[in-house]
Amino acid sequence: MTDLNTVIDANPANLYLLEGESINSSGQIIGLAVDSDGNLHGYLATPKWGDWDSEEMLAPVRLPESVRDQVRRQLGFGRFVPHPSVP
């Protein structure tokens, strides 16, 4: 296993890659990342083969809010945040 954070060339969104979920036959990996504000993001990591590179592949993937909410629930994010009491 390899920590993908140690092998990516550039991280324009300053994301920390949390986990890889799936990999296809081309070597592309999709997974979850988190930014410095604690927001979850999906990512697509595409390996470089030789000198080939594409700016399009560096574009961040934006998940719909409904998917982000589902991931937060499944990962238990917010479970330990105190909720304000209702008078």
22-63 pLDDT per residue, tens: 998 888 999 999 888 888 999 998 887 665 555 555 556 677
Question: Which region, left, alpha or beta, applies to residue 78 given φ > 0 means left and ψ of -120 to 50 means alpha?
Answer: left
Q: pLDDT at position 32, please?
A: 92
Q: pLDDT at position 30, please?
A: 92
**Domain chopping of the chain, boundaries:** 4-75
Give the start-end residues of each E strand in the chain: 16-23, 29-34, 40-45
Model confidence, pTM: 0.53
Contacts of residue 45, Cβ cutoff 8 Å, sequence gap at least 6: 4, 8, 17, 20, 28, 29, 30, 31
SS3 assignment, position 20? strand
Q: Which of 1-5, 34-38, 72-76, 78-82 is most confident? A: 34-38
Q: pLDDT at position 82, please?
A: 54
Mean per-residue pLDDT, 57-71 = 71
